[in-house]
Amino acid sequence: MSARIPLTRPTVDEATIAGVADVLRSGWLTSGPQVKAFETALSEFFGGRPVRAFNSGTCTMAIALRIAGIGAGDEVITTPLSWVATSNVVLEVGATPKFVDIDASTRNIDLNLIEAAITAKTRALLPVDLAGLPVDRTRLYAIARKHQLRVVEDAAQSLGSLWQGKRIGSFGDFVSVSFHPNKNATSIEGGCLVLNDEREAKLAEQYRLQGVVRSGYDGMEVELAGGKFNLTDVAARVGLGQLAHLDEFNAQRRELVRRYFALLSDPAMKIGLGLPPADFSNSNWHMFQVVLPEARLNVRRAQIMAELDAAGIGTGVHYPAIHLFALYRRLGWKAGDFPIAEQVCRNILSLPLFPAMSPADVERVVDTLLSILAAHRK
Ligand SMILES: Cc1ncc(COP(=O)(O)O)c(C=O)c1O
């Protein structure tokens, strides 16, 4: 049997592995010179804006909301189709998420529906670039300006994506990125937050580590109840090694996606399989996701995934609809609230995509998927 094709797999080069060994031998393992170097490289990547590194791309969003002064009594508009981190952080700071349905084509928040969801309590927009496809930044910021709202861009998945030729993160308000191992560049776990100015950067540092502010040799003050969200130097060294390859990784992803489109476009049309927009100018192609034609199949998604798994092909669900999780149902949301997101979330399927994959792997995934779908046609 052929080798298994996982859903994703990070590529870590030998220079990074040796660099990690150097850090481990250096005598300094937690946040130190590697974190500083990682932040400098990230700031350069994001056009010179202030950037701080953290131990996840979740705490970055909560901290952005805290810096913006968002808390109890405030509302934050977001999408029901994301990793649950996106709305959990809104609850974590004591505010209320207000979900808005998605656009069936982009699978991102439907910008046409945002203004109707804005109330006197709305303080921020929290959009997500699902699979790396950027939300229309021109329209997003026009709405934010008109209603005087802060924006926390959940760019966890869109490192290296562009909007009208400009890198995501190089402009805009708060931009939050994740370096989880599935992402286009990883620091094992980790994240970064792009900020607007040094005042916000100082606050981010305080929220990152117990609210501590140091001065001189022995001066220490605590000004707010920060947490413990700092990145280790080991992780930062991995992140630095990955950032150096990001453009190449993203180019490899793009070529593999071209192959997916070449093989899938015609059959998808015939069998009603949903493909993402064929965007080769903005997206970093973090994921390649199809939407199964549930009305034409006699089995559910789980069965298709099980059969792909048995054929040695890994797949994933990104994501179940957030508002239908028990926690969110208890807060009042219910089935039928966001019909487009619910239909997409029931049927969305992430296919294997990672830089070390080969075009032949893509062919095997497509052949296997199409034959499984044909066997289950109603
Ligand atoms: C859209 C989205 N938001 C937030 C996160 C949270 O990032 P992390 O896992 O680094 O906390 C992730 C990744 O897992 C994500 O995909």
Are 140 and 103 in contact, with CB atoms under 8 Å apart?
no
pLDDT value, residue 11? 98
Task: Decide: residue 363, CB within 10 A, 0-12 exposed, 13-18 middle, 19+ buried.
Answer: middle
Measured from the CA of 157, which atom of ligand 1 is nearest? 16
CA dihedral 150, 154, 159, 161 (to 10 degrees): -70
pLDDT value, residue 2? 85
* CA–CA dist 147, 129 (Å, integer): 22
Evaluate if residue 232 carries a pLDDT over 70. Answer: yes
Order the strands of the 122-126 sheet from edge to edge: 51-54, 191-194, 174-178, 150-154, 122-126, 75-78, 96-99
Residues in contact with ligand 1 (CB, 6 Å cut-off): 56-58, 82-83, 85-86, 128, 154, 156-157, 178, 180, 191
How many angstroms separate the alpha carbon of residue 64 from the centre of ligand 1?
14
Mutation test of ligand 1: which of 7, 8, 54, 58 has the most ligand atoms closer than 8 Å to its C-beta? 58
How many angstroms separate the alpha carbon of residue 298 from the centre of ligand 1?
33
In total, the chain counts a number of residues equal to 378
Are 158 and 179 in contact, with CB atoms under 8 Å apart?
no
Structure tokens that stand for 306 in this block: 């099980």
Cα-trace Rg, the chain: 21
How many angstroms separate the alpha carbon of residue 178 from the centre of ligand 1?
6
Evaluate if residue 1 carries a pLDDT over 90. Answer: no
* CA–CA dist 132, 161 (Å, integer): 6
Answer yes or no: pTM beyond 0.95: yes
Mutation test of ligand 1: which of 54, 83, 157 has the most ligand atoms closer than 8 Å to its C-beta? 83
Measured from the CA of 130, which atom of ligand 1 is nearest? 1
Active site residue 98: no
Which among 183, 202, 270, 378 is annotated as catalytic? 183
For 260-286, how does the pLDDT look when each residue is reduced to its tens digit (9 = 90+)?
999 999 999 999 999 999 999 999 999
Are 100 and 149 in contact, with CB atoms under 8 Å apart?
no
How many angstroms separate the alpha carbon of residue 90 from the centre of ligand 1?
14
Are 134 and 159 in contact, with CB atoms under 8 Å apart?
no
CA dihedral 83, 87, 92, 98 (to 10 degrees): -170
For 200-219, how does the pLDDT look when each residue is reduced to its tens digit (9 = 90+)?
999 999 999 999 999 999 99
pLDDT value, residue 86? 98
* CA–CA dist 335, 287 (Å, integer): 26
